[in-house]
Amino acid sequence: MKERSAFIVIIALLAVALFAGWLMMSRRQRATDEQRLANVKADLKRLEDRINSEIRNIEEGTFAFSSSDSLRSELSRISDAVGKDRRAILSDEKKAIAEIGELETKVARYDEFISGVGMERDRKTGGFIANLQEELRKTKARLEELMGKNRTLSAQLANTIKQFKGARQEIERLKAEKARVDRILEEQTRLQDSLSSSLSNNATELRRQLIAAQQRLNAQEAEIARLRGLSMKALDFKAYYVITRLGNDRVVLLDDKKLMRHKNNDIDKMYVEFRVNEIFFDDGQDKKFELTMYRNGQPYKLVREPIIVGNTNTKTMFYMFDGKNKLETGNYFLRLTYGDEPIIPDYKFVVE
């Protein structure tokens, strides 16, 4: 009797052990299946992103695929199939686990297809990334050259502001120009840092960075050209003559403010003085200017020999009018030009 009872107990313990083992194996299998399903879901999401990226490459012309239209249609079909499989998994995970082997086979086929597309892309576009990287290097070199010019312009404007003796309004304008140049230089420094880190092998990202950098540089070059044009002005321009009263010489400024009447009998010599902005001397050579005097709207006196300005630290002074006869009556203005560009507002005065 006792032996029979012991046998029953042993059988019961074995049954419990077997059940526990089966339960443990079942749980392990379920955990394995769930992990396999998680991997399939992640792979499908990754594949969908890769397929959509290749579709964008075709639509944007980033790479030269052969038979682009048919390839795009096939990619769209595969993308729809991948999306359908993802939705099926989300709607019924138990069924998906039961079909995990089939799903893994599909993922392998999708991956093989998209890898083939990638290989075709790389084969067709061999040096595309290398070309983009070379363009980025050229853009960086262009940026560094422009930054050098801007630093020079900023220093020149600072020197001009220091030397300029003109109206406060003109000084404030020059200061505003310098501030704008300095802000552009700060932007260029940030752009330079960005380009220095653009060593990606991702063609789409390289292309995006290149286009953005070139657009920004084009805008900055246009702005600097505008500021440079504004800065290419003569400074402290004035015209005057000297009259003698009671044995004393008196300098009389010619202007259109009519603070003093200018008599033609008093003017037998006219003097002109001005400074020029240092920006004219970028190449280290002397610059040549022409000054024309107009009377009643017509050219009256042209400085036939161009005026050569040596540097910005001394005034340029010369005789504009030094005739045997007195200056005729009329409405006058002086126009100083560099090349074909006026570099002062017309300087007006009236002689009676």
CATH of the domain at 292: 2.60.40
Question: For a pLDDT cut of 90, what percent of the chain falls above it?
Answer: 0
Q: Which of 190, 208, 231 is the last residue of a domain?
A: 231
pLDDT digits (tens, 9 = 90+) for 312-333: 444 566 656 665 567 778 888 8
What integer is the mean pLDDT of 180-200? 66
Contact status, residue 212 vs residue 220, Cβ threshold 8 Å: no
- Report pLDDT for 286: 56
Looking at the structure, tell me whether residues 148 and 215 fall in a common domain.
Answer: yes
**Unique residue bearing structure tokens 């194996």:** 25
2-6, 29-33, 299-303: range with highest mean pLDDT? 299-303
Beta bridge partners of 125: none
- Unique residue bearing structure tokens 């504004």: 230
Domain boundary among 197, 231, 265: 231
Distance CA 234, CA 241 (A): 20
Closest to 76 (Cα-Cα) out of 88, 68, 87: 68
Q: Tell me: do 226 and 247 sit in the same domain.
A: no
120 and 154 part of one domain: no
Do 224 and 184 lie in a common domain?
yes
Domain boundary among 74, 92, 124: 124
Mean predicted lDDT score pLDDT of the chain: 69
pLDDT in tens, 230-249: 566 777 777 777 776 666 77
What mean pLDDT comes out for the span 84-99? 78
Those residues with Cβ within 8 angstroms of residue 100's Cβ, 6 or more apart along the chain or in another chain: 33, 36, 37, 40
Q: What is the mean pLDDT of residues 299-306?
A: 63
**Pair 95, 191 in one domain:** no
Burial of 232 (0-12, 13-18, 19+ CB in 10 A): middle
Q: Left (φ > 0), alpha (ψ -120 to 50) or beta: where does 330 sit?
A: left
**Mean pLDDT throughout 66-80?**
75
- AA letter at 287: K
pLDDT at 296: 86
* Same domain, residue pair 99 and 35: yes
Higher model confidence: residue 84 or residue 136?
A: 84
pLDDT of residue 22: 47
- 97 and 35 in a single domain? The answer is yes
pLDDT at 202: 59
CA–CA dist 171, 191 (Å, integer): 30
For residue 138, the enclosing domain spans 128-231
Asked if residue 310 and residue 246 are part of one domain, the reply reads yes
- For residue 350, give the nearest of 240, 261, 238, 237 by alpha carbon: 261
Q: What is the mean pLDDT of residues 174-197?
A: 68
State the Cα–Cα distance between residues 140 and 135, nearest whole angstrom: 9
Is the pLDDT score of 123 beyond 80? no
Residue 11 Cα distances to 5, 7, 15, 21, 22, angstroms: 10, 6, 6, 15, 16
Between 67 and 337, residue with greater pLDDT: 337
Residues 134 and 219 in one domain: yes
Residues 339 and 311 in one domain: yes
Structurally, the chain folds into a number of domains equal to 3
Q: What letter does residue 263 receive in the DSSP assignment? A: P
**Mean pLDDT, to the nearest integer, of 179-196?**
69
Per-residue model confidence (pLDDT) at position 11 = 60
pTM for the model stands at 0.45
Q: Within 13 Å and on the Cβ side, how many CA atoms surround 256?
A: 10
Task: Work out the pLDDT band at 63, boundaries 50, 70, 90.
Answer: low
270 φ/ψ angles, rounded to the nearest 5 degrees? -120, 135
pLDDT digits (tens, 9 = 90+) for 46-61: 888 888 877 777 776 6
Please give the backbone phi and psi of residue 94, each rounded to the nearest 5 degrees, phi first.
-60, -45
The reply to whether 313 and 326 lie within a common domain is yes
Q: Are 227 and 245 in the same domain?
A: no
Residue 33's domain is classified under what CATH number? Answer: 1.20.58
Q: Is residue 25 predicted with pLDDT exceeding 60? A: no
pLDDT band for position 261 (cuts 50, 70, 90): low
Range from 49-63, 101-115, 180-194 carrying the lowest mean pLDDT: 180-194
